[in-house]
Chains A and B, each alone.
Chain A
Amino acid sequence: MDDRWILSRRQLLKTMAASGALAAADLAWWEEPLVRPRRAWGAAPVRFQFSVPEPKRTALVESLAQRFNQSQTDFEVKVEFVPQAQARQKLIAGIAANNPPDCCQVWDNWVGEFEGMGAVEDLTSRVRDWKYYKDVTPIAWQTVTLKGKILSFPWVVTNDGVYWRTDRAAEYGIKPPQDDWTWDEFMATARAFTKPEKNQYGFGMRGQGTWAVLYATEFMYAGGAQVLRDGKVAINSKEAAEGLDWYLDLFRKHRVCPPSVPTDGWRGIVEGFGRGITNMYIHNSGSSEEQKDFVGAKSFATVPLPLGPGRKRVSFYFSETLTGFKNAKNREGAWRFMSWCMDDEPKFMYCKTLGLLPSRKSLADRPEFTKDPAYQGFIKSFPFSIVSPYLAYAGWGGKLDSEGVPLFQQALVGKLTAKEFLEKFAEVLAKNMA
């Protein structure tokens, strides 16, 4: 054999390194190659603010922006990554200083606040002529519609469900939760899952952050309560107090939750489950992909929230939006980028990578979502999902965090009764109905 055709070890390593670099430059999940003709000079910049709750998203969004920049020659998206904790403040400061980004990604509960400042671009007429308008589920449009105006694109949507450990249920001989399970069954399952001697607890309740109050509210709704009734705050009703008492007692009385609950935020509940401390927790589909890495795809599943005493239940439906601003320097570029993100491939990849559900029916019907057990709890919750009642007033967004959560924590640690908490909370809501 001719020696010239034999690869030395060094050549082999070089070839492997070169192919590795090429593969890294391309994106494994993308159908088309990354290398494309370069953009034309003079492409107008588009400032896109993206709030980052976890590092995984940074790479994903950076590659989406690159892909958009290479798909056309008119605009160049520049992503401004902001830690999630500072995103709202940074946006509001930008709006107040008349220097907002051209567009941003934010949760729907903030959009009202920006609209209250008169800062959000009204997309209604443009969206109605947009090619996928009818493909987006009506409830998704509801999350971004305020006073009849469509203010954002619902990029991805999700609702709440219960994550539970399938492997541990089998190990302890626990009856798997069914889609129509009740509060009593939820309690029985949580108790059976609780093994303090093994440092395992039945339910990872959230005690910090906005959603601590939202999850509790879902239980109040299952008990027949409502936040607003006939235009007035009604969260201090008897049904709400009973529902909340039942929920809080999971931690206070029945001790099926870990002791860290009052300071457990989003990271706390997700990690608690991932590390095997808790065997159930409530969250949206956003942590499903993470749990596949933590506990393994076969070791958990999701199920809808349990039915309350009157066989009622709700799951709050919300969206991660793409929102543009009136005073943006490049409104056309913002529109082009936002609508491009709603196209099949970018949207599919964003949703699938992060475990969130597409707001467009044609994509949500793909088997990657409908057949995955990790999504079942959420898909089956769609029929009784409602838009979060706290989206009703722009003034409620920030108050939930700054006043609602500390009050909720006081109820959690027994400094306030459920009724006292609800009276004070109702007062806060009533004061900020603007």
Chain B
Amino acid sequence: MARSDATVAVALPRPLLSRRARELATGYLYLVPVAVCLGGTIVFPILKAMHMSLYNHVLFKPQEYGFVGLGNYARLLRDETFWLTLWNSFVWVFGSVALQFVGGFAAALLLHQSFRGRAFVRTVTLLPWIVPGVVVALVWEWLYQPNYGVINDVLLRLGWLRDRVAWLSDPGLAMPAVIATNVWRGVPFFAIMLLAGLQAIHDDLYEAARVDGASVTERFRHITLPLLRPIIIVATATRVIWTFNYADLIFVMTSGGPANATQITSTYTLVTAYTNLDFGYAATLSVVLLVIMLVFTVLYLRVTRGIESAT
């Protein structure tokens, strides 16, 4: 009798992980490079700053290096300059962003109209945003220069000024002057963002509203504003955070002076770190800045979400 070569089925060993778990693990493996990058560039520096804020770490006093717990935070509460810079930051951020928004919105509405040379005007509008911040600061510092600056010269020639004004040297004028510069720089950002939003709104909506007899103001209130709201929220939140952390302009134009009149918390942090070389205290300031911005973002998103759902 012929033997038949029967194949006996052998059960494969049970895999260590279930199929679902393996799929999940593969997905996470793909995310590892990004997680490592984000962890290394964002999470680690934040944790390191928090760690540093608990130490007395003045670079030129290595013998005094040591753990101080919340000592730096207690020092911050007593630091008059810190509270002054916090108030200055508030004025700087909300003054800048509010005016940038108004200017940017006006520019976006204008650029949304069709007119001859619109492409050229759009490009020119973007210029202040393209120029590096330090260059903007140097140019405006020169424009404001009281003795030979262009602004004083023009105003004197027009007869609008009798004496030269020290725009950046007068504590009462220095903050408005740097805010004006920041507004000039930031208007294009809002203009472009809002223009993109305006272009996404269908003309049919305006057409229908027009047929129903809605006025220009009503169309703006009931169509333009609600449909632009998501962009306005994102753009404003982003700009507030940027402006709060933006130190270049003030640092170059006034170095926080005169007499701390333009010292905002981010420039104060910079001075504490790189002039005083007090890295422990500078880290404390950075952590507080981070917390303030986190609180602002959460509150802002919550409030705007509330408005959105109400409308």
Contact = CB atoms under 8 A, between A and B. Distances in A.
B258 A409 contact: yes
Interface string B228-263: 000000000000000000000000001111111001
A410 interface: yes
Interface residues of B, number: 30
A413 interface: yes
A117 B274 CA distance: 17
B169 A259 contact: yes
Interface in A361-401: 394, 398-399, 401
Interface stretch (A89-97, A174-182, A337-345): A89-97
A402 B282 CA distance: 13
A413 B262 CA distance: 14
Interface stretch (A60-68, A120-128, A260-268, A350-358): A260-268
B277 A92 contact: yes
A413 B171 contact: yes
Interface residues of A, number: 35
Given A262-B259, A406-B259, A89 B274 contact: yes
Nearest to B145: A260
B257 A263 contact: yes
A261 to B, nearest CB: 6
Contacts of A207: 169, 258
Given A262-B169, A413-B170, 17 more contacts: A117-B60, A117-B61, A117-B62, A196-B163, A207-B169, A260-B169, A262-B166, A262-B259, A272-B147, A275-B148, A394-B60, A398-B275, A399-B276, A402-B276, A409-B260, A410-B259, A415-B259
A422 B148 CA distance: 33
B122 interface: no
A405 B255 CA distance: 11
B147 A258 contact: yes
A140 interface: no
A271 to B, nearest CB: 9
Interface string B273-293: 011110000000000000000
B195 interface: no
Interface of A: 86, 89, 92-93, 96, 113-114, 116-117, 196, 199, 207-208, 258-264, 272, 275, 277, 394, 398-399, 401-402, 405-406, 409-410, 412-413, 415
B247 to A, nearest CB: 14
A199 B164 contact: yes
Interface of B: 59-62, 145-148, 163-166, 168-171, 254-260, 263, 271-272, 274-277
A116 B166 CA distance: 40
A412 B259 contact: yes
A410 B263 CA distance: 13
Contacts of B148: 199, 275, 277
16 contacts: A86-B274, A89-B275, A93-B59, A199-B148, A208-B257, A258-B147, A259-B147, A260-B169, A261-B169, A262-B171, A263-B168, A263-B258, A277-B147, A398-B275, A409-B258, A415-B259
B275 A92 contact: no
A262 B61 contact: no
A425 B255 CA distance: 20
B147 A409 contact: no
Contacts of A93: 59
A416 to B, nearest CB: 8
Interface centre among B145, B259, B271 (most CB of A within 10 A): B259
Contacts of B165: 259
A424 to B, nearest CB: 11
A260 B257 contact: no
B112 to A, nearest CB: 41
